[in-house]
Amino acid sequence: MEASEEKVINKILKGLWLDSGASFREGFFELSPNHFLRFAKSDLNLKTKRSTVNALSNAKRAIECQVDEILYVLGHYKAAKKERWNFPKKIEFLKSLDITGPNILNKINQKRNLLEHEYEYPKKDEVETAIDVAELFISATEKFTEKYCDNFGIDYMDKETNISVSFDEDNCIFEITHPKEEPGQWAEYKISRESPMFLPLLKKYAEAIKLSI
């Protein structure tokens, strides 16, 4: 990486990302996290052993679906699928970007694993907790999945920089545009997942989405 590029990226990482426009997204999958959440609540209301088991499974599906939608927004859904990331690895990835950190998500996954592999019947209060956590998680991360922020301008030290950052989530690439020192000249380059600067940029991108209106 050239010194000029490193200087620009340093401004991007330390600067304020200003959303230059957002549009509402359409659904990622045929069934959404909220579909599974409604299924879970409906199952629990039936008050049978079978419906309680189904309620826990649907609460976990709601969380997993929301996690996958966030991974899609962050350009990692295809990679996670190809590399066969399990649920804990997905959660650890989101934690590394400061998107979510509640350990209770892993506990829900462990509880369902017991249900599937050791045939343990879940208690009603545990299922209610799982549904509550799913609902809170979806609500806390809905900014990632409801709107599409396709471009950001960067302010650095309270000044406009004319630096523009966009993220191609389908190809998992950052595209950066900024003015050169020569008047009227512009530089454009891309930062891919293989670059050591990619994850710091992705973390800043996630932060910008959380702060967007």
Model pLDDT, residue 101: 62
Domain span at 161: 3-21+150-211
Number of domains in the chain: 2
Averaged pLDDT score across all residues of the chain: 86
Looking at 145, 172, 198, which one is the last position of a domain?
145
Looking at 108, 125, 145, which one is the last position of a domain?
145
Separation of alpha carbons 75 and 72, rounded Å: 5
Model pLDDT, residue 159: 67
188 in any annotated domain:
yes
What would the mean pLDDT of 54-63 be, rounded to a whole number? 93
pLDDT band with cut points at 50, 70 and 90 for residue 19 = confident
Task: Record the tokens describing residue 27, joined without a space.
Answer: 């659904």
pLDDT band with cut points at 50, 70 and 90 for residue 209 = confident
Neighbours of 79 (CB within 10 A): 14
Same domain, yes or no, for 49 and 105?
yes
Same domain, yes or no, for 69 and 163?
no
| Angle, in degrees to the nearest 10, between helices 124-140 and 33-46 | 160
pTM: 0.88
Same domain, yes or no, for 44 and 111?
yes
Three-state secondary structure call for residue 150: coil
Model pLDDT, residue 65: 95
Are 12 and 200 in contact by the 8 Å Cβ rule? The answer is: no
- pLDDT of residue 104 exceeding 80, the answer is no
Residue for token pair 């990226």: 9
Same domain, yes or no, for 54 and 10?
no
Same domain, yes or no, for 200 and 184?
yes
